[in-house]
Structure 1
Amino acid sequence: MEINNVIIPCQKSNADISRWDIRFQDGKVSQIRPSERPASEPPKLLLPPLCHPHIHLDKAYLLTCNNPISESHPNYSDLIPETGSFEEALLNTSRAKERYTESDLHLRGSQLLATSYNQGVTSLRAFVEIDHVTGTRPLDVALQLKSEFSHLLEIQICVFAQDPLFSTAHAETNRPLLTSTLRNYGPKIQVLGTTPYVEKSREAALLNIDWAITTALHHNLHLDFHLDYNLDELHPPTQPLTFSVIQLLQKHNWLGQADKSKTIVLGHCTQLTLLPNSELRQLAEIVIQSGLPIHFVGLPTSDLFMMGRPNTATACAQVRPRATLNVPSMIKDLGLSACIGVNNVGNAFTPFGSGDPLQMASYGVGIYQAGTVSDATTLYGCVSLLARKAIGLHRDEEDGDVAEGTSLRGMLLIKNEENIKIPGPAWESELLIPARQREGFKDVIWDPPGVELRSIIN
């Protein structure tokens, strides 16, 4: 097979050559040479693949599925948000889980995975909830989907506790259920995730974190916390739970006990945006000096929708403080490992959007005020190689450089249209307007190409 007239933005060898012709067989490059095509021909872009480092598989499209209502496909229309609050989202999602069927979970999960693949995603960390309501049904369906999509997607299964494990009446059911699930399913599960902030006290949250660390070590799993998801004022000496996670990881000697390939992901962490610069730098120094494989995942679409509800007690009803981790700054200014993820699609936590990682990265230009060419390269990395690195899937050869022997499997190919076609004045003729050409990361981030222009090399 052959791909001609290709721009490779990550190319390090002979970087002065702008376009390439590539021959490959069985996914591996057999020949790469400077392109002989005319400069006027629209180029293609060859980019690292996209990754969902944090996405909920079982909760996708609860509000937007619009599937035929039957015993197999329950009706969720009464769970449409009315206030849009976080508490409402938790309550309505719990009610939705009572209606899950295997057929329903399979259909919505298939829709998410198929859509993601068409958008250019080749890997993802899929969260599935295990609790007293769902049992292991979401996990069973997720494992089936993982098998069915294995030729297209590298799916990492995260068994996830959205509900409390050390407080409320159901904690003593949820925790043993998680424990038995991890024991019974063994290597079919790659990640353990919990939500310390849903516990009813800080003491219970710390127990949640401690339990998750020891359990992940025992089962040789990646660890993923939904953490510090609030905009509560900080009252010293109390610190965000992120500090406690680091302390407990060190207490349990994660570096000495865990497999070197296992990572620790901290998602949301919106409360960290309230830290003064000096404390944020102190946190960054603590993380870096610890040597712990900690990666922060900002989830801007969910964070901005959920955080910053107006305070009706004030005279400024239009004031809505927003918060999501400033991921580009964390990378550039603080030296931390970070990326961005979609989190939810079509449910009460994020009822809007298609879940397209490129579109989310494009929003990042405005969200983070990151408008330079360098920022665009960083934002692409945040939904690609940096995201893969966060969930432990990055391999040393994955840097986007292409040479003979390089595998192209899974790389994202973006085509450029030659013309934009519109009807002519008589409605029988056709006008051809020369199309703008995307030639690098900035063009893809500032103006994401339509899904029809994207394809994955297999």
Structure 2
Amino acid sequence: MMLSINHARLANDSVLYHIECKNGRISSIQPEETTNLAADVVADGGIVLPSLCHSHIHLDKCFILDRCQLVTGDFSEALKVTNQAKAAFEPSDLYKRGHKLIRDSVECGVTSMRAFVEVDRAVGFSCVEQGVQLATNFRDVCDVQLAAFAQEPLFDDTESVDPGENYSLLVRALETHDLQVVGSAPYVEPTLAQAKLNIGLILNLALKHRCHVDFHLDYNLDPTSEPLIFNVIEQARQLSWPPALKITVGHATRLQLFTPEEWKELTSAMGSLPITFVGLPQSDMYMMGRGDSPLGAPRGTLHIPQIAAQHNIQIAMAVNNVQNAFTPQGSVDPLSLCTFGVALFQTATPNDLKTLLRAVTLTSKEAIGETEAYKDLTLSVGDPANLVVLHGTPTTQLAVLNPGYVRTTIRAGRVVAYRHNSVWIASN
């Protein structure tokens, strides 16, 4: 199958190009002035980039804010009201909301995502089952990688030595459904010791089923709390962790309190382990730092550009939740995170803008274990033809600072979405 794009720009290049895709890959990139060819997609002078990727998004608890009565807005309340909403989830409701999430994401330029579907005694396998159906139905449009996720504790109480029903359900979900990832939130366990046991249980499950791992980890801004990332590293090394299975760590706000020496310790401890961090700024900034001091506690999320520049760690960035008690605000568009990040991280330098753009494209793809890699944000012949065309947005700078609404999404060399606007204004 052939697809052509003209009047297109590449990252950091003002030249207009004619791009051709064949058999799911970019087969030709030529300056437009040397060609006189018609095209399937006219980019209107806009930039063409590797497609966007949700490296961390919850498929089952999106668009439920109208069911959640918020009073304090804190994390414990979010867990409580979300559990109440989960108890009433129906299969058709799960499918409808998940369908909207995927469809809206593809319209923005997303062609792959890691989607969390929860497994616990409240929902059983209903979230997993609808997730599998959605992944199947969207398989030609978007690669929906499903993560069986234990948001609730695996241990029933502080005295428990063995994991309880939630763990048993998670095991059964992996045994009976087509799932690519297993994950948990160790910080919800009753004790620190059980949080570390949670980590070990998940790592061993992943090895048994040859799954990637995704931890919601170190979600606090408490300098007295033990950073559990070091326990993840220790247990992974004890298991001789294979390079093919990714370990992804979401939130990790506690790391933002690290000194330069602690960052060096972390990078040394990680070594060649396949660990990638995912910052979730919309959720982190809303939920973290709810202290009771007169001036309030500081907000905190992983400082993606600074960590890349100072410690050479590329961190992905993701939407996480959409319209629920954990993240009431924001859209499904990953590029909106880049725009938010400019103010949040107080930087608009070319290198940092590139880091932010990579965070929702290349680094996010790496975080979820995509094997078809791009060389850079600037497209090359042979790259996968999973692309987003930002019509009328001519530079990477504007793609971050003010990305256009009009977009074409291309998956495997085929247009899978075109988003356009219609404008009317009254005249005098």
CA–CA separation in structure 1 for the residues paired with 2:380 and 2:289:
48
Alpha-carbon RMSD across the aligned residues, in angstroms, is: 2.2
Amino acid in structure 1 at the alignment position of 2:47: L
1:165-222 CA deviation, whole Å, 9 max, x = no partner? 124399511111111221222xx11001011000011111011011111111111110
The answer to whether the aligner puts 1:127 opposite 2:116 as a matched pair is yes
TM (norm. structure 2) is: 0.88
CA–CA separation in structure 2 for the residues paired with 1:24 and 1:301:
35
Partner of 1:69: none
Partner of 2:38: none
Partner of 1:68: none
The answer to whether the aligner puts 1:268 opposite 2:245 as a matched pair is no
Alignment of 1:206-245 (within 5 A): 206-234=196-224, 239-245=226-232
Q: For residues 110 and 179 of structure 1, do their structure 2 counterparts lie closer, same or farther at Cα, with a shift above 3 Å needed?
A: same
Moved over 6 A (4+): none
1:362-413 CA deviation, whole Å, 9 max, x = no partner? 11111112210111111110000110001101423554554555552x2111
Contact 2:48 2:388 in 1 (8 A): yes
**Deviation (angstroms), 1:96:** 0.8
The answer to whether the aligner puts 1:353 opposite 2:330 as a matched pair is yes
The residue matched to 1:157 in structure 2 has which SS?
strand
Amino acid in structure 2 at the alignment position of 1:160: F
1:320-365 CA deviation, whole Å, 9 max, x = no partner? 4101111222222112242111110000000111121000111111
Contact 1:337 1:390 in 2 (8 A): no
Partner of 1:53: 55
CA–CA separation in structure 2 for the residues paired with 1:360 and 1:270:
17
The residue matched to 1:147 in structure 2 has which SS?
helix
CA–CA separation in structure 1 for the residues paired with 2:258 and 2:145:
32
CA–CA separation in structure 2 for the residues paired with 1:30 and 1:168:
58
1:270-319 CA deviation, whole Å, 9 max, x = no partner? 111222222222212221x3x100101110000010011141xx4x2x43
Partner of 2:236: 249
The answer to whether the aligner puts 1:35 opposite 2:27 as a matched pair is no
**Deviation (angstroms), 1:123:** 0.3
Structure 2 residue runs without a partner (length 5+): 36-42, 415-428
Contact 2:372 2:384 in 1 (8 A): no
**Deviation (angstroms), 1:261:** 2.1
Q: For residues 31 and 321 of structure 1, do their structure 2 counterparts lie closer, same or farther at Cα, with a shift above 3 Å needed?
A: closer
The residue matched to 1:279 in structure 2 has which SS?
helix
CA–CA separation in structure 2 for the residues paired with 1:323 and 1:242:
17
The residue matched to 1:36 in structure 2 has which SS?
helix
CA–CA separation in structure 2 for the residues paired with 1:29 and 1:334:
33
The answer to whether the aligner puts 1:442 opposite 2:418 as a matched pair is no
Partner of 2:182: 192
Alignment of 1:326-365 (within 5 A): 326-365=303-342
Partner of 2:15: 18
CA–CA separation in structure 2 for the residues paired with 1:26 and 1:336:
34
Partner of 1:177: 169
Bigger mean CA offset, 92-101 vs 365-374: 365-374
CA–CA separation in structure 2 for the residues paired with 1:343 and 1:406:
27
Amino acid in structure 2 at the alignment position of 1:295: T
Contact 1:340 1:382 in 2 (8 A): yes
Partner of 1:83: 72
Amino acid in structure 2 at the alignment position of 1:88: E
Q: For residues 407 and 177 of structure 1, do their structure 2 counterparts lie closer, same or farther at Cα, with a shift above 3 Å needed?
A: closer
Pick the structure with greater CA Rg: 1
Contact 1:225 1:267 in 2 (8 A): yes
Bigger mean CA offset, 46-55 vs 324-333: 324-333
Partner of 1:420: none
Structure 1 residue runs without a partner (length 5+): 65-75, 417-437
Q: For residues 8 and 144 of structure 1, do their structure 2 counterparts lie closer, same or farther at Cα, with a shift above 3 Å needed?
A: same
Amino acid in structure 1 at the alignment position of 2:98: G
The answer to whether the aligner puts 1:309 opposite 2:303 as a matched pair is no
Amino acid in structure 2 at the alignment position of 1:365: V
**Deviation (angstroms), 1:37:** 9.0
Partner of 2:391: 415
The answer to whether the aligner puts 1:149 opposite 2:126 as a matched pair is no
TM (norm. structure 1) is: 0.83
Q: For residues 280 and 234 of structure 1, do their structure 2 counterparts lie closer, same or farther at Cα, with a shift above 3 Å needed?
A: farther
CA–CA separation in structure 2 for the residues paired with 1:404 and 1:194:
39
Partner of 1:9: 11
Number of matched pairs: 400
Partner of 1:282: 265
CA–CA separation in structure 2 for the residues paired with 1:346 and 1:401:
33
The residue matched to 2:54 in structure 1 has which SS?
strand
Report sequence identity in percent: 37
**Deviation (angstroms), 1:27:** 4.7
Contact 1:328 1:378 in 2 (8 A): yes
The residue matched to 2:70 in structure 1 has which SS?
coil
